[in-house]
Amino acid sequence: MKVRKAVIPAAGLGTRMLPATKTVPKEMLPMVDKPVIQYIIEEAVASGIEDILIVTNRAKSAMDDYFDYYPELETRLLQAGKEKELIEVRRAADLANIFYVRQKQTKGLGHAIWRAKRFVGDEPFAVLLGDDIMRAEVPVTRQLIAGAEKYGASAVGVQRVSTEAIVKYSSVKISPLEERIYAVSDMNEKPRPEEMFSNYAILGRYVLKSDIFDILENLRPGYGGEIQLTDGLRELCMRDKMIAVDFEGRRYDTGNLNGFLEATIDFALDHKATGPWLRRFIKEKAKQL
């Protein structure tokens, strides 16, 4: 089972980050010096993915412009001797083979993934949600692919969250297979605390068999009146093997303001150009708080 393709759904309206996201796609907001979506694509590439489909909508063309060449800018940078900037600008455009499809109607995550059917064909593929940036020694998608390959199964990335937090996610019913890997037998989207199967929530990373497309095609709207990926996965896990990988790494939800700021601070602290300065700045600030 070789996973070569990934799908990044990025067709949401960004309503949790307004007004900033009224005209700038939330995936294009800068996380220190790169847009959020670049971190997601870099994770996919570091996990062995070659072809990436981004599911977009009519307000997101800044994304395809970003991953394109920009000859006028590149010539100007070359003439000005700005070699470092030139390399970074080019690197973004050369990261992977990136394809785009529009969702056309905002009908939910399951519907967005279904739009990838033609691109994926009958191969297993990875899904990386556009809001969730992971910081991990081994790229999280690679951790999932390793589990999926070992068990010949679909895989969802999970971590334990508090009972108060599970209502924001999907909860999975699991039984242990080995350290950090579980068999999945059921799941539900945005459960109330009394409905949750466990404190393990699916957090933005999946490796799926292409059987999911036929399931999604026939799915009725679920939570919030939307076609939910979780409802499709529920059916998939009942038909075929599915594992949950309790991945190692830190997840940031950059689709809300607090998560976005946490990620910005952590990434800026790690960054060569900003880290030492930011550390001093925070220490000074802390004295005044």
**Interface with ligand G1P by CB under 6 A: which residues?**
109, 129, 132, 169-170, 189, 201-204, 229-230
Q: Residue 181 or 196: which CB sits closer to ligand G1P?
A: 196
The candidate with the shortest Cα–Cα distance to 237, out of 199, 182, 196, 200, is 182
Quote the tokens at residue 273: 């150009």
- Shortest Cβ distance from residue 252 to ligand G1P (Å)? 11
Q: Residue 27 or 189: which CB sits closer to ligand G1P?
A: 189
- Shortest Cβ distance from residue 255 to ligand G1P (Å)? 7
Q: Residue 77 or 142: which CB sits closer to ligand G1P?
A: 142
Packing angle, helices 71-79 and 83-93, rounded to 10:
160
- Shortest Cβ distance from residue 69 to ligand G1P (Å)? 32
Q: Residue 230 or 254: which CB sits closer to ligand G1P?
A: 230
Burial of 45: CB neighbours in 10 Å, binned 0-12, 13-18, 19+: middle
Q: Residue 131 or 268: which CB sits closer to ligand G1P?
A: 131
- Shortest Cβ distance from residue 205 to ligand G1P (Å)? 8
- Shortest Cβ distance from residue 201 to ligand G1P (Å)? 5
C-beta atoms surrounding 100 within 10 Å:
16
Query: Which of the 8 DSSP states describes residue 45?
Result: H
Q: 């009146």: which residue's tokens? A: 225
Quote the tokens at residue 185: 């037998």
What's the sign of the alpha-carbon dihedral 182, 130, 107, 96?
negative
